[in-house]
């Protein structure tokens, strides 16, 4: 293939028009889904936004605009694969109704030329999906937390968590209250040493604990130490001491926050803690961000394959369209199901993340071969 033919195949007017059609249709579907999600969300949170605007003597638009922007980043990250599926399906149906695809086939366009527009779409929207998952969505979530509005503000409030939690390592188990802020702190600690031994070796209580610059080292204050071997002896009181715990500050600062909402640098630090109880969820979140760019292209390819089967001549077969659209919807939903299995540790993180993409591509290939 000459350079001119290659450029025509990937940059020609026909390809540019198809990419424009795809982007317009995906944008339309995404706007509809976003508008519905915004409406449902505002039905719950609009009264609190209006009350806050009145109490702060601020305009309602001044609070509403950033809130919708932040919620939009979260919603688009969730719904973009679905918009790619139904948007490309809609675009292909409209192109067939205008006989564009029939004319291209009659003109002898190769399969590579037909796929060129989908490849461009996958590149554009895959980049968008990757940025949403790795940067914009976590930033939007924490912006909502800071604003105090919305579901995330209530669930992930950066404050003391009153219910004590457990952290179990190789040699110690720690029970403490945690302060989920950028300056993490532990309070009312109980530390049990020798948990892998036939019996405990020592039990400590501390009023407070603070992380030190030295990795895995913490400063404890107002300490009581019970030596298990010296039964009946009173505890030893210590004002403060440095102690190594199997904890990093990020485990406290982001305790209880869903892993896929955590900023990427922090997620990378948490991924080093293979002994953490949520290690499977952390690894799944890391793999999600590394492979997010694959999702739009996989479902766009599936939609293009489905569109070839919904016509008999020039007649649109509505029952067949409904069946195929339902099949595509199940494929999109299966992505979240597989992610959940990965977060629970039922499946390895690579399999949980890549299997739905592989199934979508194989399904697209199977439908295309059936049409041929």
Six token digits for residue 184: 């993490």
SS (H, E, C) 344-365: HCCCCHHHHHHHHHHHHHHHHH
If pLDDT is split at 50, 70 and 90, which confidence band does 235 have?
Answer: confident
Cα gap 189→314, rounded to integer Å: 72
Sequence-distant (6+) residues with CB within 8 A of 33 are 75, 79, 82, 83
Q: For helices 60-97 and 137-147, give the axis angle rounded to 10 degrees.
A: 150
Tens digits of per-residue pLDDT, 57-67?
778 888 888 89
If pLDDT is split at 50, 70 and 90, which confidence band does 108 have?
Answer: low
DSSP 8-class letter at 132: I
**pLDDT confidence of residue 106:** 56
If pLDDT is split at 50, 70 and 90, which confidence band does 40 have?
Answer: very high
DSSP 8-class letter at 158: S
Model confidence at 216: pLDDT above 80:
yes
Cα gap 364→370, rounded to integer Å: 10
> What are the angstrom distances between the C-alpha of 237 and each of 23, 69, 222, 253, 292?
68, 53, 7, 29, 53
Name the range with the highest mean pLDDT among 39-53, 82-96, 265-279: 82-96
Model confidence at 306: pLDDT above 90:
yes
Mean pLDDT, range 1-11, rounded to an integer: 53
Cα gap 74→169, rounded to integer Å: 34
Question: Which residue reads 């071997």 in tokens?
Answer: 229
**pLDDT confidence of residue 139:** 94
Conformational region of residue 310, where left means phi above 0, alpha means psi within -120 to 50, and beta covers everything else: alpha
**pLDDT confidence of residue 101:** 63
**pLDDT confidence of residue 215:** 87
**pLDDT confidence of residue 77:** 95
**pLDDT confidence of residue 79:** 95
What residues pair up with 208 in beta bridges, in sequence order?
187, 221
**For residues 217 and 209, is the Cβ–Cβ distance under 8 A?**
no
**For residues 45 and 150, is the Cβ–Cβ distance under 8 A?**
yes
> What are the angstrom distances between the C-alpha of 262 and each of 139, 151, 162, 372?
9, 16, 22, 45
Residue 316 C-alpha from the chain's centroid: 36
**pLDDT confidence of residue 369:** 78
Question: Which residue reads 């592989």 in tokens?
Answer: 358
Q: Could you tell me which residue, 171 or 289, shows the higher pLDDT?
A: 289
Model confidence at 1: pLDDT above 60:
no
Sequence-distant (6+) residues with CB within 8 A of 123 are 297
If pLDDT is split at 50, 70 and 90, which confidence band does 26 have?
Answer: very high
Cα gap 120→8, rounded to integer Å: 14
Cα gap 9→112, rounded to integer Å: 8
pTM: 0.87
Mean pLDDT, range 34-45, rounded to an integer: 92
Tens digits of per-residue pLDDT, 253-283?
999 899 999 999 999 999 988 777 889 999 9
Mean pLDDT, range 41-56, rounded to an integer: 84
If pLDDT is split at 50, 70 and 90, which confidence band does 49 have?
Answer: confident
**For residues 291 and 353, is the Cβ–Cβ distance under 8 A?**
yes
**pLDDT confidence of residue 231:** 67
Model confidence at 138: pLDDT above 50:
yes
Model confidence at 87: pLDDT above 90:
yes
Mean pLDDT, range 14-42, rounded to an integer: 92
Helix-then-strand count for the chain, H and E? 13, 8
If pLDDT is split at 50, 70 and 90, which confidence band does 246 have?
Answer: confident
Task: Calculate what percentage of the chain has a pLDDT beyond 70.
Answer: 91
**For residues 330 and 340, is the Cβ–Cβ distance under 8 A?**
no
DSSP string, 41-106: HHHHHHHHHHHHHHHTT--HHHHHHHHHHHHHHHHHHHHHHHHHHHHHHHHHHHHHHTTHHHHHHH
If pLDDT is split at 50, 70 and 90, which confidence band does 5 have?
Answer: low
Helix (H, G, I), strand (E, B) or coil at 141: helix
If pLDDT is split at 50, 70 and 90, which confidence band does 176 have?
Answer: very high
**pLDDT confidence of residue 120:** 93
Other beta carbons within 10 Å of 35: 10
Cα gap 328→47, rounded to integer Å: 37
């Amino acid at each position: 293939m000459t350079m001119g033919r290659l450029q025509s195949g990937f940059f020609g007017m026909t390809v540019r028009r198809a990419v424009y059609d795809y982007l317009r249709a995906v944008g339309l579907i995404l706007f509809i889904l976003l508008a519905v999600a915004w409406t449902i969300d505002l039905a719950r949170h609009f009264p609190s936004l209006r009350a806050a605007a009145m109490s702060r003597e601020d305009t309602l638009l001044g609070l509403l605009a950033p809130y919708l922007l932040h919620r939009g980043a979260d919603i688009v990250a969730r719904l973009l694969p679905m918009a790619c599926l139904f948007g490309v399906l809609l675009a292909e149906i409209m192109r067939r109704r205008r006989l564009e695809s029939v004319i291209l086939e009659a003109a002898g366009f190769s399969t590579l030329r037909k796929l060129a527009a989908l490849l461009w779409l996958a590149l554009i929207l895959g980049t968008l999906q990757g940025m949403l998952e790795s940067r914009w969505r976590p930033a939007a979530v924490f912006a909502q937390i800071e604003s105090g509005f919305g579901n995330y503000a209530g669930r992930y409030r950066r404050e003391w968590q009153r219910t004590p939690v457990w952290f179990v390592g190789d040699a110690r188990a720690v029970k403490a209250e945690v302060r989920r802020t950028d300056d993490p702190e532990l309070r009312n600690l109980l530390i049990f040493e020798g948990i892998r031994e036939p019996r405990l070796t020592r039990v400590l209580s501390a009023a407070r604990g603070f992380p030190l610059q030295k990795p895995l080292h913490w400063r404890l204050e107002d300490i009581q130490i019970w030596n298990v071997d010296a039964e009946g002896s009173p505890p030893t009181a210590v004002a403060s001491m440095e102690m190594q715990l199997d904890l990093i500050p990020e485990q406290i600062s982001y305790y209880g926050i869903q892993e896929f909402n955590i900023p990427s640098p922090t997620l990378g630090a948490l991924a080093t803690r293979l002994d953490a109880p949520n290690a499977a969820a952390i690894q799944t979140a890391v793999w999600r961000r590394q492979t997010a760019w694959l999702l739009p292209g996989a479902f766009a390819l599936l939609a293009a394959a489905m569109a070839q089967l919904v016509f008999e001549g020039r007649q649109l077969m509505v029952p067949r369209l409904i069946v195929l659209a339902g099949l595509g919807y199940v494929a999109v939903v299966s992505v979240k199901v597989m992610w959940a299995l990965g977060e629970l540790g039922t499946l390895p993180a690579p399999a949980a993340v890549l299997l739905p993409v592989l199934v979508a591509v194989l399904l697209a290939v199977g439908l295309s071969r059936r049409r041929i």
